[in-house]
Amino acid sequence: MGTDLRIVQAENLAFLATLPDAMAELIYIDPPFNTGKKQVRRRMKTVRDEHGDRTGFGGHRYRTTELGRSGYEDQFDDYQAFLRPRLEHAWRLLTAAGSFFLHVDYRESHYCKVALDEVFGRNCFQNEIIWAYDYGARSKRRWSPKHDSILWYTRDPKRHTFDFEAVDRIPYMAPTLVGPEKTARGKTPTDVWWHTIVSPTGKERTGYATQKPLGVLERIVKVHSRPGDLVLDFFAGSGTTGEAAALHDRRCLLVDSRPEAIDVMASRLARFEPTIERPELEPSETA
């Protein structure tokens, strides 16, 4: 199976400057969140061993072995100065009917919205989508933060793709109040999306730090683009945007500067036969 899927290893700001105006119908980015911490994910192998180091389902014992770690320093002296020129390129690269999605967390979302209002215009703001999940430790000192913000802006406030027929349906929380017909059909989501994180032990997990769920990206791709459209992600990470695009017949350009990200994407997306470009390397080093 082949598709129009490019994976490029490059520093994104310099690479974006080489791209032509109005080339992408949909841009999604999930940049570092400026948490001030090192983002780390461990890749583990678990095997049944009655003398192992942890207890699993049914009370059985398991032994875990660490296969490796991935991560990066998520700290910036001036996060907005880092992000702003990349937002300006996103505006330039969108088609007239294009949509831009910025995935951030509570630490920076308000600053990012102000910057996006300036770059795109306040009238081009469409939604703040809340991705809510319920996983991980609970704080005993405050309400535990369990959501990210996804800010949606359009190039033109009156002209953008929103394919309502492609919106997935979700169950009613009180089905007895709406009757069997509506219960069977389900309801459309609001701007609060409940979706689990990528399971630490699931098949979707690549071991890449900050990997986002395929289901979240599929919803964005299906509703905000059409088959054949070009989807751009210039903080591509583990390649979730590329998988969502390829599964739904969209063209896709994925950009990341980190070699480990390129390797993860190349492996994850191999069935779609992507082209892999490393323009910052010598030709003899190109994979």
Do 70 and 176 lie in a common domain?
Answer: no
d(CA 113, CA 116): 5
Residues of the chain with pLDDT under 70: 1-3, 33-48, 51-76, 280-287
pLDDT at 136: 80
Is 200 exposed, middle or buried, given 0-12, 13-18 or 19+ CB atoms closer than 10 A?
A: exposed
Do 42 and 18 lie in a common domain?
Answer: no
d(CA 165, CA 176): 25
pLDDT at 62: 62
Residue in 273, 228, 224 with CA at minimum distance from that of residue 249: 228
Do 49 and 165 lie in a common domain?
Answer: no
Q: Are 89 and 15 a contacting pair, CB within 8 Å?
A: no
Q: Can you give the residue range of the structural domain that contains 57? A: 37-74
24: CATH: 3.40.50.150
26-45 residue pLDDT tens: 999 999 866 555 534 444 45
Do 137 and 266 lie in a common domain?
Answer: yes
Do 126 and 195 lie in a common domain?
Answer: yes
**240: phi then psi, degrees, rounded to nearest 5:** -60, -40
pLDDT at 283: 47
257-285 residue pLDDT tens: 999 999 999 999 999 999 999 876 544 44
pLDDT at 284: 40
Do 66 and 123 lie in a common domain?
Answer: no
Do 60 and 136 lie in a common domain?
Answer: no
Do 164 and 215 lie in a common domain?
Answer: yes
pLDDT at 282: 44
Q: Which of 74, 103, 133 is the last residue of a domain?
A: 74
Do 156 and 117 lie in a common domain?
Answer: yes
DSSP for 152-188?
Answer: EEESSTT-----GGGPPPB--SSGGGT-HHHHHH-B-
pLDDT at 50: 74
Do 70 and 155 lie in a common domain?
Answer: no
Do 21 and 52 lie in a common domain?
Answer: no
Do 215 and 258 lie in a common domain?
Answer: yes
The total number of structural domains that make up the chain: 2
pLDDT at 202: 84
Residue in 120, 122, 118, 145 with CA at minimum distance from that of residue 134: 145
Three-state secondary structure readout of 15-52: HHCCCCCCCEEEEEECCCCCCCEEEEEEEEEEEECCCC
Measured on CA atoms in the order 190, 151, 164, 249, is the torsion positive or negative?
negative
d(CA 168, CA 75): 36
